[in-house]
Structures are given as structure tokens and as C-alpha cells.
Structure 1
Amino acid sequence: MQGNLTISLDFELLWGIFDKVGTRYKPEYFSNTRKVIPEMLELFGKNEISVTWATVGMLFAENEEEWRLYAPEFLPSYRDKRLSAYEFAKIHGLRPEVHFAPELIREILSTPFQELGSHSYAHYYTLMRGQSPEQFRQDLQSTQKIAQEKFGRRLKSLVFPRNHINELYLGLCLEEGYEYVRGNPKNWFWQETQHESFSKKLFRSADCFFPISSKSSYAIQEIKEFEREPLIIPASRILRPLNPRNPLFNSIRFQRILNEMSYAAKNGEVYHLWWHPHNFGNDPESSMKELKALIQHFKKLQEKYGFESHSMQSLGEKAKASLAFA
């Protein structure tokens, strides 16, 4: 069987880190992100690279009025109110350049081979105390409503924010139209991401440079289908941001990804790479140069081994087809 490269991107802007940085961020970081996304889309489209853009639903809004219009009736009642995007907006207000991006959504939809997916409406944390299943259901419904009414799309792929996968909520995801969910890598330091520890962070960082875990790719048959649940498509590797002060580590971490792609292509396995578009905000030029090199490597593997490019949805459809013939 041919190997498969799947790419999923967590498109968030400030909604992804507001509870960590508050208003202490560099404006150019997100202005760079907004400029580089069309460049990424052009590169993906030209090279026929399929990508899932798992997008925070709040970014779909044009302005604060529309943002409020599509907000759910029941907001997440986290015990720690600092985790709530709604509480943050109430205190700090909303700024179009970091909170809304409908024009970029339109560019995603107009670019060939791109899938618009969901990262929840409000960067919702399903494993934090205080929130409830009904609140999460309404969050999912808000995303589907704004996607359908504004852009005519019904979303099928979902990425849980912060990789907080609440298995008890998977049934809700399928009921609200999400057939495919990104899972975490199977290594112990990617499990229970709501309970962080120094050792988990250390091993996750080290694993980007050195092979301290089991192989990151997997056979498509490992994507299992369970009744009344979406297909879980495990992640393989995060493309960590470039560190301008450490070119040696940049090279090592990038070569590790290329080697893993080669292994997946040669052995007919799935390699699921993900990152945040805002990771390119610190050094857009060098980040784009690296992305071009990654795509060039993919094209070589495609020519030599028949390596395929898939979004989460198209890989999920292929996995379902293989299950049907099993």
C-alpha cells in the first residue's frame, strides 16, 4: 500500500494563546502570520498538497457583532475563568487583527486541495474542570452554524484545542457532524496533555531532535472505526518553530522529519504532521524556506514511492474504504 502524508494546521491567531500571554504579545507576530498564510496556501495549491486547516470558529466572524451573534447560549463555565475566551474578551476587548480572519477563511476555501476543519468555536478545553458536555455541544454547533451560514460549508474534521481529547465527548463530535478527529501520538508524553509535567515537556522536546520514542508513522489499518464515534487519525509529529539562535538544532529537528517522511513512504505508512500557522510569525522567510524544502522532499518521495498527500478528511475516507475491504 502507498504511504500517506497528512498535514493538519491549528489556525488560531490570539485565540490559541490568550490564556497564556494575555495582551503581552508582539503585534508583528500576528501581522506576519496573516501575511504568510496566503504564501503557504499558494505553495500548497501549486504543489497539490492537501491540508486540513483546523480553525477556531471565532475567526470566521467579521466583527464583534457577528462574534456575539454566533456565540452559544451556554458558555463554558471553567472553574478557572482565565481559560474562557469570552471572559478574556469581556476584560480586554476584541481587536480585528488578532481575533477575526474571514478573508483568510475565504482564501483557504478558494485554494485547491485544502480542507476547512474545526478547532472548536472558542478554543474549548474539554478536560478542564467546570465545563459540561452540553456546553461543548453548543460550541460545536456554533462552529457548524457560522461555517454553513457564512461560507456554505459543513465541517467534518476536528482538532481538540491543546490536544485535550475527552473520550467521553467523542460521541457528541460525531452527532454534530465531525467524522474525523486528530488523535495524539501514542507515546506516554503525549497522553493526558491537561496534566503537564516537566518530564513530559522535556521528552516531547527531546523527541523532536532524537529518536527516544517508537516510530512516529503507522499503518493506515491502525486507524480504527468504533460505533457512534468519529475516526481518530493519530498525529505523528509537530513541526516546531524555528529557533533563530540555534541553527544546529533547527537542522537536526528538520532532518528528523524528513527521515520520518522517507520511512513512511518506503513502508507504505501514514505520517501526520501538524503545526500552528502562527509558528511562522517569528521568522516567516526562514520558515517558508523550510516548508518549501519539506514539499520538495515530499515530491521526490511521491515520484519514487507513490507517496500520497491527504487532508484529514481524505485520509479518513481512504481508511474507511480499507476497513470496508478488510
Structure 2
Amino acid sequence: MKNSTLIISLDFELLWGIFDKVGTTYRPDYFSNTRKVIPQMLESFAKHEIAVTWATVGMLFAENEEEWKYYSPEYKPSYRNRNLSAYEWAKQHGIKPEVHFAPDLIRQIVDTPGQELGSHTYAHYYTLMRGQSPEQFRQDIQATQRIAEDKFETRLKSLVFPRNHINELYLGICLEEGYEVVRGNPKNWFWQETQHEDLGKKIIRSADCFFEVGERSTFFLEELKAYPNEPLILPASRILRPFSPKGLGIMNRLRLNRIKQEMEAAARNGESYHLWWHPHNFGNDPQSSMKELLEVLEHFQSLRDRFGMQSLSMGQVGELIGVPSLTT
């Protein structure tokens, strides 16, 4: 039987990931809860021997505003919609360390066995929005590499595009700057072209979290390959959506059962299953969210015992499959 694999990647952002959606209306306790729950996640991953890729916004590496500015690139994204720029938002609303910086948490990630530090770009960069350019993107991901090497002596190999906006024209730049593995979207049509967020796609994506709507999103590692001068594209399978505390117990159970059923199907068939979420998704109800996560991790342990399912980070998958060298 082929080895089945559980892959987990997390989009670690704090406010940098949602500033353009919530503005200044965010609840401070939402992010203070997030900061408290991340060490609990790390403890649980270590206990259950789970490898995880933490795709982290580079700005979170900074200790303070001075350091944040020092590592910021010269050429910043020139979006036509200036409200999408993290730099413009900070200029208008200021910097608050509790929601904009997290070097202490990143140190805990680096020090926890099995955890891979990856990139979510430096400034939560949107590669499909009008006005930005390839050179601006290159400088953005270079900035993340610099701050990761200087502060944590880590060269990042895995990257997750913010909002799942995958610009195929930029894949070569990723590999040139050291990123060997990139998370792709699930293969279903309603996960493609995510910059076009029409209502129909949103409804179907939400429904698919509870009931089988699209095709199965598991895959065989043996079928993946990296094309010349591009990183390996590692497909996502499922997002672990936030726990809903609004009395929708049956919906929470349906959502979690769907993940567990997909994991078991992958384990039985020797396939891989790539689960992802944002750590701040646990901010509304950390206790219930952690309870769900523990159920998923314990289910993985059962699948490991019964079927030999393994846990790999994005970077470990890249090492297993191999990434072609750049050609000149």
C-alpha cells in the first residue's frame, strides 16, 4: 500500500491578513486569544508528532516599527486600490505591536519539533490585484527571506500566496528567491480564480465544507511533479473553517465529520490530504476550537496506527518529491 500523508499548513497573519476587510473594527480580544492559543497548538502538534508549515507574514517577524521599516522593500505594491496596501493602512492607522508583530511566537514555532517556518509574503501581498508588478513581488519575498535569516537563521522554502491568489507568472520568481514549494488551491472549479469572489462560488465553497459538492480533493504524492524553473505546487484539500458558537452544533459536527471522513478515505487509499486554516480562526472560541483540533489530531493518530498514515510539512514533501534546479 502506498503511504498516505497528512499535510497541514497554517496562514499566520494576525491583523495583516484582514486589515483591508475589518479596518479598525476588529476586537482586540480576538487577537489576544489567538496569541494565547498558538502555544497550545504547538504543544498539541508536538505531543501528537504532527509536522506543520507555518506560512507567516514577514512583517510579524519584526520586534517594533523601526525594525519593520528597516526590512520593508524599497518598491512597495502600487495597487490601484490603495486600501489593499498594508503600508498605506499602517500610515493611516498606525502600528500596534500586539496585532502587528509576533517574534516571540515565531521563536516558539522554530523551537517546536516538526514545525516548518514558511512564508505568507512580507506584506500579505496580492499578486493578482491591478497595479502591482513582478519586481515589487520579488522585493517583497526577498524581504521575508532577509528578516528570517537575520532573526531566526532560517532560509524559507515554502510559500503560501495570500487569499490563495496564485499568479502563475510569478512562480519562477518564487523559485529564484528560494521558495521550492507553493501551496495550490483545491482542484474544484469553485476554488479557482479566487480573486473573483462572486456569491455563487462562496456559497458552493461553504456548502462543500459540510456535504460532498465537488470532486474529492485528496491526491497521490506520486502524481505531483515540479516543472522546470517552477516550485512544486502542493494542492490544498480542505480548510478547517472556524468553530461557530452560535448554537449551530449540528453544523459544527457535520463540518468536522467531513474532514475526518476525507482523512480516512485518504489513509485507506494511500493518498494525501492537505488541511489548512488561519490561527486567528481560533480567536472567537479558543476552547471549542482546540477541542476540535484535538479530535482531528487524535483521528490522525488512529489512521497512523491502522494504515501507516504519515505527517509531513510542505517542505518535507518537496524534499521527498524533489524540485528541479533553475536552468540558465
Task: Give TM class, smaller chain.
Answer: over 0.9
Distance 1:263 1:200 in 2: 25
Distance 1:261 1:208 in 2: 13
Counterpart amino acid of residue 235 in structure 1:
A
Any residues of structure 2 matched to 1:107-118 within 5 Å, and which?
107-118=108-119
Q: Deviations over 1:1-43 (max 9, x none)?
A: 1100000000000000000001101100000000000000011
Corresponding residue to 2:290 among 268, 288, 291 = 288
Determine if the alignment matches structure 1 residue 58 to structure 2 residue 59.
Answer: yes
1:72 corresponds to: 73
| Displacement after TM superposition at 1:319 (Å) | 2.4
Moved more, 310-319 or 154-163: 310-319
Determine if the alignment matches structure 1 residue 277 to structure 2 residue 286.
Answer: no
Distance 2:47 2:252 in 1: 26
Distance 2:224 2:149 in 1: 28
| Displacement after TM superposition at 1:216 (Å) | 1.4
| Runs of 4 or more above 2 Å deviation | none
Please give the TM-score of this superposition, normalised by the length of structure 1: 0.98
1:316 counterpart SS class: helix
1:224 corresponds to: 225
Distance 1:86 1:19 in 2: 11
Distance 1:19 1:26 in 2: 15
Number of aligned residue pairs: give it: 321
Q: Deviations over 1:234-257 (max 9, x none)?
A: 000000001111111000010000
Q: CA RMSD in A?
A: 0.7
Counterpart amino acid of residue 55 in structure 2:
A
Q: Deviations over 1:129-150 (max 9, x none)?
A: 0000000000010000000011
Determine if the alignment matches structure 1 residue 306 to structure 2 residue 314.
Answer: no
Distance 1:216 1:78 in 2: 33
1:263 corresponds to: 265
Any residues of structure 2 matched to 1:11-26 within 5 Å, and which?
11-26=12-27
Distance 1:222 1:277 in 2: 30
Distance 2:180 2:321 in 1: 12
Determine if the alignment matches structure 1 residue 201 to structure 2 residue 202.
Answer: yes
1:192 corresponds to: 193
Gap runs ≥5 in structure 1: 322-326
Q: Deviations over 1:60-82 (max 9, x none)?
A: 00000000000000000000000
Distance 1:303 1:8 in 2: 22
Gap runs ≥5 in structure 2: 324-328
Distance 2:224 2:72 in 1: 33
Corresponding residue to 1:252 among 254, 258, 267 = 254
Corresponding residue to 1:297 among 296, 299, 302 = 299
1:7 counterpart SS class: strand
2:326 corresponds to: none
Moved more, 87-96 or 309-318: 309-318
1:140 counterpart SS class: helix
1:133 corresponds to: 134
Distance 2:281 2:44 in 1: 17
1:233 corresponds to: 234
| Displacement after TM superposition at 1:221 (Å) | 2.2
| Displacement after TM superposition at 1:320 (Å) | 2.6
Distance 1:247 1:95 in 2: 35
Distance 1:212 1:222 in 2: 23
Determine if the alignment matches structure 1 residue 315 to structure 2 residue 317.
Answer: yes
| Displacement after TM superposition at 1:47 (Å) | 1.2
Q: Deviations over 1:270-295 (max 9, x none)?
A: 10000000000000000001111111
1:35 counterpart SS class: helix
Counterpart amino acid of residue 264 in structure 1:
A
| Displacement after TM superposition at 1:317 (Å) | 1.6
Distance 2:202 2:130 in 1: 22
Identity of matched residues, %:
69
1:215 counterpart SS class: coil
1:159 corresponds to: 160
| Displacement after TM superposition at 1:45 (Å) | 0.9
